[in-house]
Structure 1
């Protein structure tokens, strides 16, 4: 399986996962021009995308959806709550309503919905699997619920939210209302909480940890590296940012490198 983050952060999210000819996107939260440019950098043909799955209706997850799905006539899969909350009027033939805990087959892969706590209408995260490898995209988590813990335990590749540093958030310029919205159990998880989740629930099958959805105002790449890197000696470690796409990763390549280093 191949995968990458096209964008990850509080101002836009978009993730690519593929198995052979079967490729999907999770969220299209940056404008279509930038999606296309970043895809070109990675050698991705947008017309080969077979489906788009949307986690929830916040703008940083759907900003580019309407234009992108219409331009390339790509089916969109989302919950009824997300569809209603988005206020987007997409062509009916492209819209597929799924349950938050649904299981959708796209060619050789299955996309599993993972219900979560977040301040949206009917949000879910997604695990993409070919039956042997699980690629999990876990952002906008709100809190460490049992669903999230279970996914981490069974992930081969985990893109995990590490949204904010607690001290930066507390001392920052955000209003009390916004600070509380972020940390009240329905918003995002901190670097500290993310690390605790990772350390307590990772398993020996985890090959690659990617930290994502970093806050522009309340976090830094350096802080995330300092927090996680000492605990990732045996696995591949990456950080996805808002500024550019990650490399295109291949699970088989990572396995080969780890075997050589063993």
Structure 2
């Protein structure tokens, strides 16, 4: 578990009180996860990132620009499952990292398939219900173990780091006139997000990680409210940006929540 230093700190109070005060050193920061961490949908993608679609407007890049970490690893990649993060990203985290942020889990529930089944024009309730039934099954039966394995691996890789795990926003607005999909589909899709976020928060707490809640920050800014208020893209081009946070969603939705957990 994460509070590994507690016994050392309580065993040596005289050393602590005698030590001179020092300014906090710049963080050694690693940003992991899927497209929501990569900033897919926010534009200004780094050429070297290829299909990972890492954006200069993502919350990790915005945090780096605001806080000047001593080191910065941006490993998040669009499409990453929890197993991909564990296999491909976690081993790249330096053992002396002091801050790690992570957004992962949505792809394990086949969020993209559910969005296509529920939100594209001409789809049906039966198709949407079938997709969401499968996502809910994965949430109950598969994702708890996958998140636990990922969090344990990250804890072992960077034992001294403060780890901030984020949730996901409601992707869809709840206005009665929202043209994206019928109200009952939007309500069930957003309920899936609630279940995912609750699981992420619970598993993060078990590992001793910090949880950054983003649903409140995004409230009122889901897809369908109009360009001035949307922080989530509706169906758009390129299609891989659809139902991802805009630059405003990264800067005004994710960044404040992550910063509060990282620095608080």
TM-score range, shorter chain: 0.3 to 0.5
Q: Which has the higher contact order (CA 8 A, sep 6+)?
A: 2
Q: TM-score, normalised by structure 1?
A: 0.37
Q: Which has the larger radius of gyration?
A: 2
> Counting helix residues as a fraction of each chain, which structure ranks higher?
2
